[in-house]
Amino acid sequence: MREVAALSGTSLKTVSRVFNSVPTVDPVLTEKVLKAAKKLNYTPNMTAGSLRRTNGKTKTIGILLEDISNPFSASLYRIYEDYAAENGYIILAGSLDEEPEREHDLVNLFISRRVDGLLLAPSGTDHAYLKGEVAKGMHFGFIDRPPVNFKSDAVLSTNRDGSFEAVNHLISFGHKRILFLGDDPAIYTAEERFQGYAKALKRAKFGVEKRLVLRGLENEESAIAEVRKVLRSADAPTAIFATQNLLTWVAMKALRAEKLEEKVALVGFDDIPGAELLRPAVTLVRQDLAELGRRSIEMLFSRINGDTSEVQTVIVPTTFTAMGSGEIPAR
Amino acid sequence: MREVAALSGTSLKTVSRVFNSVPTVDPVLTEKVLKAAKKLNYTPNMTAGSLRRTNGKTKTIGILLEDISNPFSASLYRIYEDYAAENGYIILAGSLDEEPEREHDLVNLFISRRVDGLLLAPSGTDHAYLKGEVAKGMHFGFIDRPPVNFKSDAVLSTNRDGSFEAVNHLISFGHKRILFLGDDPAIYTAEERFQGYAKALKRAKFGVEKRLVLRGLENEESAIAEVRKVLRSADAPTAIFATQNLLTWVAMKALRAEKLEEKVALVGFDDIPGAELLRPAVTLVRQDLAELGRRSIEMLFSRINGDTSEVQTVIVPTTFTAMGSGEIPAR
DNA sequence: CTGAAAGCGCTAACAC
DNA sequence: GTGTTAGCGCTTTCAG
């Protein structure tokens, strides 16, 4: 910048003004500065700028998601990217892989980069450690899962009600033995979806059978093996409720392997690409990603821009879509 | 930082040393500093640090991909994220949506954030504008598509050979009229894949029929309509070669709509989730994303760390996997 | 409308 | 081992 000033015969400050589009600069000088900058191949250093800039904003937000290569996270990421870009913001993103430690590390890392705000789909089970950051002016937003021991804006789906509806749907087709396929109960969404399942069974006076509840399965291969085992057992389930996109694949692969895809009903939670092309097409409970994304980032930006109103929790409804696999009646 | 020094009764520099784990600090002082920092809720400002730090590294790289919500880009992103994290790096990412202007804008934006290097799957058709940046010490790596009017490391797939193999495969099943479904020819990979297609037809002495080449279709809906139209026309194609994951969906949806999925063969380029679960399972030409990702980021880091050897282009082979849809014989 | 001086939070260099 | 001074690239403040 100093070199540009020298070459254009102006001062440091004038160069600064030109690059910040301050209107009160002589057009002649502006021209000279731009010319010199071009010649020297100068590009302003934004990070240096935000060091002294009044509001200290870095125009950067951090986003922590479960796994960016999973379509659920990837779609959210894209929504955030577009919204951020529209507002002149840039995104730092990280995948947490359900590891609480990674959440903590990445939060610290992003804060050391001085993001203006942080959006998280948390893997941690205690967020009290964020209180100090709030005191220093950091802004947070939670998505998909609520904060624990910490007050923050949050945007959540109707996990429990969506599951309740899905399982009721299966029950209405005569199913009594419904296999529950879920993540580790320590994960908020996994437990909520289980509660919806349990509630629907209770309402029908069936009760939850332990052998029909498969949770926290390790990897895809072993999960498929477990499901196949249950499908071959005595009094086998006549329907499956898979509570996450990866688990829906597991269920389908297991059903295919047992040649039961036309006989055992299946409802999945979360969208899967090409659901309508499968035979049978997969009945799903879908989350409204566009709305989850939009609401959460809008709230975060509003906080960054000074909104200090009471913390808010927004609940976004899920959508049930019958496509075929969920409408197979019980034998 | 000054406050921490004051509270701990030490100097600025000692605090700096503690947070940079310089070994020659009295453990007693270290303790004091850490205590004071905790009390004041102090976190180092990394961006300020890199301003004065010797090598000036920001430990940040920029990654420009086609569309992070597309599984192809999302998987690459994840590979980069993990590799970067291992090396203490953080990623700035952006989606280009095939808009050359966006590429230019984001490159500038990331450079103004002083990334140490930039990896791009370019949407632009001229990269001469990057020369000035190289002169100032920026490092670049190209992935999926080569640079134009610019010298840079690049990692590419065998687009042409992979397509040649796929189309030969279809020909070996008796197909003569093979529908080509591709992106805008201006896109490097789209044109390469077309060349592979044309080469295979030429070798079989069939020649390319214009009516069987559908390129640069606008949106999914209209693309499906176009394909259906061709499928219903006189001398309709007996096979489809879809040269990109989204286009493979298009082909499948069109085939389903015409109830031709068991009669017309289909080979797709790029992986699609659940390909093996579809009926028929989809025969694919797959890119080796892990290798594409690894090689490209390794090269970039090596440049960042001072490697000034001759620019390199790495070619990663694709893999053909017969799964069913590509083995339907011509009627 | 323009420029000089001070300082953002931090680290390099060089004393002590 | 530890502290002091200067300065990274920029913006602020305030004087002209």
| B 32-61: CB within 7 Å of strand C | 44-45, 48-49, 51-54
pLDDT at B218: 87
Q: What does the mean pLDDT of chain A come to?
A: 96
Q: Is the pLDDT of residue A65 over 80?
A: yes
Q: What does the mean pLDDT of chain B come to?
A: 96
Cβ atoms of B150 and B171 within 8 Å: the answer is no
pLDDT at B193: 98
| A55-151: CATH topology | Rossmann fold (3.40.50)
Cβ atoms of B285 and B268 within 8 Å: the answer is yes
**Each residue's pLDDT tens digit, B236-288:** 999 999 999 999 999 999 999 999 999 999 999 999 999 999 999 999 999 99
What is the b/e burial string over B13-23, where b = at least 16 CB atoms within 10 angstroms of the residue's CB?
A: ebbbbbbeeee
Query: Out of B46, B108, B274, whose CB is closest to A249?
Result: B274
pLDDT at B55: 82
Which residue lies nearest D13, CA-to-C1' measured? A54
List Cα–Cα distances, B250 to A181, A331, B228, B268, in angstroms: 31, 36, 10, 10
Which residue lies nearest D10, CA-to-C1' measured? A49
Q: Which residue, B209, B214, B180, is CA-closest to B197?
A: B180
B106: Cα separation from own chain's centroid = 16
pLDDT at A52: 87
pLDDT at A53: 84
Q: Which residue, B92, B64, B83, B144, is CA-closest to B302?
A: B83
Dist. CA A179–CA B194, nearest whole Å: 47
pLDDT at B56: 82
**Each residue's pLDDT tens digit, B84-105:** 999 999 999 999 999 999 999 9
**B111 vs A252: CB contact, 8 Å cut-off?**
no
Q: Torsion-angle region of residue A62: left (phi > 0), alpha (psi -120 to 50) or beta?
A: beta
- Amino acid letter for position A192: E
Q: Is the pLDDT of residue B116 over 90?
A: yes
| A159-288+320-327: CATH topology | Rossmann fold (3.40.50)
Record the pTM.
0.95
Residue A284's pLDDT band, with cuts at 50, 70 and 90, is very high
> Between B331 and A272, whose confidence is greater?
A272
Please give the biggest Cα pair distance in chain B: 89
Same fold across A55-151 and A159-288+320-327: yes
What whole-number percentage of chain A has pLDDT above 70? 100
Written as six digits, the tokens of B88 are 């203490």
**B71 vs A273: CB contact, 8 Å cut-off?**
yes
Q: Is the pLDDT of residue A257 over 80?
A: yes
Pairing of strands A117-120, A139-143: parallel
Query: Out of A69, A249, A273, whose CB is closest to B78?
Result: A69
**Each residue's pLDDT tens digit, A313-323:** 999 999 999 99
What whole-number percentage of chain B has pLDDT above 70? 100
| A 23-52: CB within 7 Å of strand C | 24-26, 28-29, 51-52
Q: Whats the size of chain A, residue-wise?
A: 331
pLDDT at B142: 98
The DSSP code sequence of A156-194 is: EE-HHHHHHHHHHHHHHTT---EEEEE--TTSHHHHHHH
Q: Give domain limits for chain B.
A: 2-39, 55-151, 159-288+320-327
Any strand C atom closer than 7 Å to B172 CB: no
Q: Is the pLDDT of residue B54 over 80?
A: no
Pairing of strands B153-157, A283-286: unpaired
Q: Which residue, B159, B222, B231, B236, is CA-closest to B190?
A: B159
